[in-house]
C-alpha cells in the first residue's frame, strides 16, 4: 500500500516580527489506495513563530512544509496506520448488514388484527377521616 501525503492549504500571517508572509498553520492529508479501496485522514498543525532565517513563501516546497508538520508533532506512522486500518475495515468490515432472514416486501395488512382495547377499572374515591379531638 502506497501512502500519499499532501498539504491541502496554508495559513499565512502577513507580518511576524521582522518577517512577512509567515506560515502559521498547515492542513495536511494522508491517503492511500489499495485496489478498489481508499481512505484518508487529515489534520491541521500550528507552527511556532520563526527564529533565524526564513524561506520566502514563494520558495517553499510541499516536502519542506510536510517536514515542518512532522517536526511539529504530526505522527506519520500513526496517520498511515489509521489509513491502513480504514482500508482493512472496508475489506473486512467488523459490522455488516446482511439480508433479512425472512421474505421481504412488507406484511399484508389484511392479516393484521387490532390489539384488544384496554379495560378501564375505576377506583373508588379515597376516604379521608377527620381527626378526632
- For residue range 20-78, list pLDDT tens digits in order: 999 999 999 999 999 999 999 999 999 998 888 899 999 999 999 999 999 999 999 99
Q: Does 99 reside within a domain?
A: no
Q: What pTM does this model have?
A: 0.72
Name the residue range of residue 59's domain: 2-91
Q: Does 68 reside within a domain?
A: yes
| Between residues 5 and 123, the one the model is more confident about | 5
Q: Does 98 reside within a domain?
A: no
Query: Rounded to whole angstroms, how far apart are CA atoms 61 and 59?
Result: 7
How many domains does the structure of the chain reveal? 1
Cell numbers placing 59: 520558495
Q: Does 41 reside within a domain?
A: yes
Q: How far is CA 92 from CA 84, 86, 89, 99, in A?
A: 12, 10, 5, 17
How much is the CA Rg of the chain, to the nearest whole Å? Answer: 33
Q: Does 43 reside within a domain?
A: yes
Q: Does 31 reside within a domain?
A: yes
Q: Does 18 reside within a domain?
A: yes
Query: Rounded to whole angstroms, how far apart are CA atoms 79 and 82?
Result: 5
Question: What is the length of the chain?
Answer: 133
Query: Rounded to whole angstroms, how far apart are CA atoms 93 and 132?
Result: 76
Backbone torsions φ then ψ of 132, nearest 5 degrees? -95, 135
pLDDT band, residue 120 (cuts 50/70/90): confident
Cβ count within 10 A of residue 23 = 20
Q: Which one, of 29, 5, 33, lies nearest residue 90 by Cα?
A: 33
Q: Does 122 reside within a domain?
A: no
Amino acid at each position: 500500500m502506497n501512502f500519499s501525503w499532501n498539504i491541502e492549504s496554508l495559513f499565512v500571517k502577513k507580518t511576524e516580527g521582522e518577517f512577512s508572509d509567515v506560515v502559521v498553520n498547515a492542513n495536511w492529508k494522508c491517503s492511500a489506495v489499495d485496489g478498489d479501496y481508499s481512505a484518508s485522514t487529515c489534520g491541521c498543525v500550528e507552527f511556532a513563530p520563526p527564529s533565524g532565517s526564513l524561506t520566502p513563501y514563494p520558495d517553499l516546497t510541499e516536502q519542506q512544509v510536510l517536514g515542518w508538520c512532522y517536526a511539529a508533532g504530526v505522527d506519520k506512522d500513526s496517520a498511515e496506520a489509521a489509513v491502513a486500518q480504514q482500508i482493512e475495515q472496508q475489506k473486512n468490515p467488523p459490522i455488516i448488514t446482511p439480508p433479512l432472514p425472512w421474505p421481504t416486501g412488507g406484511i399484508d395488512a389484511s392479516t393484521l388484527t387490532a390489539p384488544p382495547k384496554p379495560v378501564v377499572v375505576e377506583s373508588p374515591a379515597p376516604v379521608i377521616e377527620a381527626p378526632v379531638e
